[in-house]
Structure 1
Amino acid sequence: MPNKYTITEAQNIIKKITDEQDELFQSFLQDERKGIQKIISKWYSDRAQQRVLQEEFDQMSGFENELRDQGFELIAGIDEVGRGPLAGPVVAAAVILPADFCLLGINDSKKLSEKQREAFYQYITEEAIAWSTGIISPQEIDELNIYQASKKAMVTALNTLNVKPDHLLIDAMELGSPYPEMSLIKGDARSISIAAASIVAKVTRDRMMEEYSQVYSGYGLEKNMGYGTKEHLEGLNEFGPSPIHRKSFAPVKELMLK
């Protein structure tokens, strides 16, 4: 027998229910209307997805949990973005998350949509105990080389934290800092702290590149973020390198030699 609620009313009620044994939920299960059964089906699908995300989050919290069991409380995740582009800075971030931090879906920034990154950036920067960034210019990249510039960006982010960490989790880099540190290959997909740093660094750099695109047009920087896409390479050939291009990177270097 149909429930007394309309489909719209039922939808608003069901999405707020968290327990399958809820008496009202059980009554909706008996409702044979196709619209109600579709809402019920989505409810189960959403719960299944939530369980998967929770399991992934718990797995990515493993390093942090182990370190807290050892007595470490202020664990800083550190990551950088922008090693590969032909233009723009390399940006690193350091993030210290609270022990009760929870953000289902957090992952390597490259695996998230722009909309997800922006929303996660907002949440991370609001909830973090401390966070900071390190930005190394294209000129410094040319002077140092990209590896040393990436390392310097990470060290800068670490040194500008307004709360000092007691342990570091770093994506594929050893900094030789005064703090105990652990380097994790593909750490941005294995640690929530490194993933958080990856997101903060990525959003920071993307925003910078969008601003640069207003000054240096013709390269498509607002879309390619400085990477060597077809449009970017065509712009390079037509307009030559801009002040934010990395002169030590091919094909910018080759173009300048010509």
Structure 2
Amino acid sequence: MEKQSITTLRNLLQAGKLTDAQIEAMKKDTRKGVQQLLTTYEKQKIKQVALEKAFVEMCHYERNATASGKRYIAGIDEAGRGPLAGPVVAAAVILPSDFKLLGLNDSKQVSETARDMYFDYIIEHATSYHIAVVDSDVIDQMNILEATKLAMKDALTQLNPPADHVLIDAVELSNLPCSQEAIIKGDAKSISIAAASILAKVTRDRIMKEIHEEYPMYDFKSNMGYGTKFHMERLAEYGVSPYHRKSFAPVRECL
């Protein structure tokens, strides 16, 4: 086989189009650049195997529910329980049995760029999904835990087709029309919860960036409403915005 240029081999590697014959030829090629590409290829292969293994492990709860006769298995997660400002957002999503998205994990473990790509992919391929938003006024009226549960139940009950089993990140909900499992750190253990985590966080981050345009002094686009040092300084200087949670102690102290 005639030796291919290093540029050609690099392009094939980046496109994932290297054939087995080309890989074998590269192993016999003494050019330093080729050997570097081969090292990169081997690392990518190891990473791919690890991603495949992780994805299979994260489908454990879904497989068990399917084996018990459940058909529509939803994952639920929330974003925004801890911030001092903005809504709490919950998402519920039912994924098809052939769903596959390597690298999908707890939204906090995924880069913003990857979250945005995953968000679009999940919405396009989900069997059903719904995203519920509960604003700061309601949070102040009923407390953050109850507001979170309200958002979760709203997201779940809007699914079509409805879920007959639900996997929830850490929280137990009452009076559900289906069976449920509350899983500690579920967004890192269940692919359905991880998908819901992405939908909830991306939605909330986008809301906070919109709020930032209205109240740029708090830098919501960077802190997403969390009580960073800068946020606390601006809260003391400018006072409380309509989006702050007045029942939260650091905000209440500024009233």
**CA–CA separation in structure 2 for the residues paired with 1:73 and 1:226:** 38
Question: Which residue does the alignment assign to 1:216?
Answer: 215
Note if 1:10 corresponds to 2:6.
Answer: no
Q: Aligned equivalents of 2:247 and 2:226: distance in 1?
A: 14
What 5-or-longer segments of structure 1 have no aligned partner?
A: none
Question: After the TM superposition, which residues 83-232 of structure 1 pair with which residues of structure 2 at under 5 Å, given as runs?
Answer: 83-176=81-174, 177-232=176-231
Tell me by how many angstroms 1:174 deviates.
1.3
Quote the residue 1:239 is aligned against: 238
Tell me the CA shift for residue 59 of structure 1.
0.7
User: Matches of 2:25 and 2:216 in 1, distance apart?
Assistant: 60
**Structure 1 stretch displaced more, 51-60 or 86-95:** 51-60
C-alpha displacement of 1:29: 1.2
1:34 is aligned to 32
**Cα-to-partner distance string for 1:159-217 (whole Å, 9 max, x where unaligned):** 11122111100111111201011110111011000010011000000000000000012
Structure 1 residue 148, shift from structure 2 partner: 0.3
Q: Is the 8 A contact 1:86 1:245 kept in 2?
A: yes
The answer as to whether partners of 1:14 and 1:40 remain within 8 angstroms in 2 is: no
SS at 1:93 equivalent: strand
Aligned length: 253
Q: Which moved more, 1:23-32 or 1:95-104?
A: 23-32
Deviation at 1:24, TM superposition (A): 2.6
How far apart, in 2, do the equivalents of 1:24 and 1:135 lie?
Answer: 52
SS at match of 2:227: coil
8 A Cα contact 2:83 2:226, kept in partner: yes
Give 3-state SS (helix, strand or coil) of 2:217's partner. coil
Q: Which amino acid in the other structure matches residue 187 of structure 1?
A: G
**Is the partner of 1:59 in helix, strand or coil?**
helix
Aligned-residue RMSD, C-alpha: 1.3
| 1:47-62 alignment runs, 5 A limit | 47-62=45-60
Q: Is the 8 A contact 1:17 1:25 kept in 2?
A: no
Aligned partners of 2:12 and 2:18 also within 8 Å: no
SS of the residue 1:251 aligns to:
helix
- Distance in 2 of aligned mates of 1:60 and 1:18: 29
Q: Which amino acid aligns with 1:10?
A: L
For residues 148 and 204 of structure 2, the distance between their equivalents in structure 1, rounded to whole angstroms, comes to: 13
1:244 to 1:128, Cα distance in 2 relative to 1, 3 A: same
Q: How far apart are 1:113 and its partner, in Å?
A: 1.0
**Shift of residue 26 of structure 1?**
0.9
SS of the residue 1:103 aligns to: coil
Does the aligned pair in 1 maintain the 2:169–2:184 contact within 8 Å? yes
Please state whether the residue corresponding to 1:123 is helix, strand or coil: helix
Fraction of identical pairs, as percent: 49
Please report how far the alpha carbon of residue 17 of structure 1 lies from its aligned counterpart in structure 2 after TM superposition.
4.5
Gaps of 5+ in 2: none
